[in-house]
Structure 1
């Protein structure tokens, strides 16, 4: 896990706030704070579909809150998610 801080302002800050207001996104970040997980594991723990979790993961990745890597799986490729930041600062200027 990375210990980076994300500093964000303007429109990006608004997008970040909107995404973090989603209970699903926030819970995903909480899960990833404990360790890396693949999409299937996140979906199973949250009792949600893999498609729904995949969409949330894409948005979190676009905001640079998580990093994604790929690893071989039983049936294809597993998408492994890792927390990219531990602290977020919103710049109001």
Structure 2
């Protein structure tokens, strides 16, 4: 595995994590309801990380396979975030 592919996978995982934290339910589960909720910043960060991952995939493999690779990583990373949220959402 090359470093651009690993960096793209991590960036997409973080992007979906930021997108999930932009929702009230996940934000309150993580930090509580008293904290300020930076929805707009989290959404911009998620978009920037997804664009960075797309750029890394396109740079690594070109337009045709890079987009296919990016969309595959997109699907895998969203499932990893879903599984992380399902595992970490166990509250007493």
TM-score (norm 2): 0.34
Please identify which structure carries the higher strand content: 1
Please identify which structure carries the higher helix content: 2
Larger Rg: 2
Structure number with greater CO (CA < 8 Å, separation at least 6) is 1
TM-score (norm 1): 0.34
